[in-house]
């Protein structure tokens, strides 16, 4: 089984969340089921076989790190977080050991991601020695996280602004992207607004 790392993107400004009345400095520290959103994502990554698990911080760095206190994570700070997601992807990948074969790109605002889903992606990627990426599919819809092969890291380094893994998958030959069918709807569920957070709390409550 190839060595796969996980990069959790937790550097964003949560601009939409705060503009729509979110009281927390970042949506990633807002509580769901008694835990910050970012902690759900981090615990899922740690429950998988992915190692190391690297968290990229930026906006509200102290609050995000406090929300993840006590977990065996590596942190890298992206001082250019305001420029967009691409800079955080670059910072996270640059912090990975040279021997990893790829990285799961985990979004910190997806609290229903499961460790088993991440392992499913790793297994699907490992089963195809020529694969450049693996992506989860639920109910016919491609979601996140995605797993990027080290072979895509140079292309990732050329991304700019809000470009992310989706751009790389869109440019890749479809035959090089493994799609893993998953039962969990967590791969298509994220929190962007206070209303979505309230709805998630209601569903869980």
Residue boundaries of the structural domains of the chain: 4-204
**What integer pLDDT is reported at residue 205 of this predicted model?**
42
Confidence of residue 165 (pLDDT cuts 50, 70, 90): confident
Q: Return the closest-CA partner of residue 125 out of 94, 152, 161.
A: 152
Dist. CA 109–CA 120, nearest whole Å: 20
Give, in degrees to the nearest 5, the angle at Cα 162 between 161 and 168: 100
For the stretch 121-135, pLDDT in tens is 999 999 998 999 999
What is the bridge-based pairing of β-strands 31-32 and 177-181?
unpaired
- CATH code that applies to domain 4-204: 3.90.550.10
Give Cβ neighbours of residue 44 (< 8 Å, ≥ 6 apart).
Answer: 106, 113, 114, 115, 117, 118
């Amino acid at each position: 089984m190839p060595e796969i790392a996980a990069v959790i993107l937790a550097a964003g400004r949560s601009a939409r969340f705060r503009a729509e009345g979110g009281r927390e400095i970042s949506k990633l520290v807002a509580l769901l089921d008694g835990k910050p959103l970012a902690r759900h994502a981090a615990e899922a990554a740690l429950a998988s076989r992915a190692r190391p698990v690297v968290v990229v911080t930026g906006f509200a760095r102290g609050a995000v790190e406090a929300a993840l206190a006590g977990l065996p994570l590596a942190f890298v700070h992206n001082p250019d977080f305001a420029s967009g997601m691409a800079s955080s992807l670059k910072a996270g990948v640059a912090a990975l050991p040279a021997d990893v074969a790829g990285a799961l790109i985990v979004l910190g605002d997806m609290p229903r991601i499961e460790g088993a889903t991440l392992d499913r992606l790793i297994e699907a990627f490992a089963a195809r020695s020529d694969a450049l990426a693996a992506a989860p599919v639920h109910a016919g819809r491609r979601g996140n996280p995605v797993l990027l092969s080290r072979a895509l890291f140079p292309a990732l380094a050329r991304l700019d602004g809000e470009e992310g893994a989706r751009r790389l998958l869109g440019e890749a030959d479809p035959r090089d992207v493994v799609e893993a069918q998953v039962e969990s709807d967590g791969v298509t569920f994220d929190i962007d607004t206070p209303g979505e957070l309230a709805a998630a709390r209601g569903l869980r409550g």
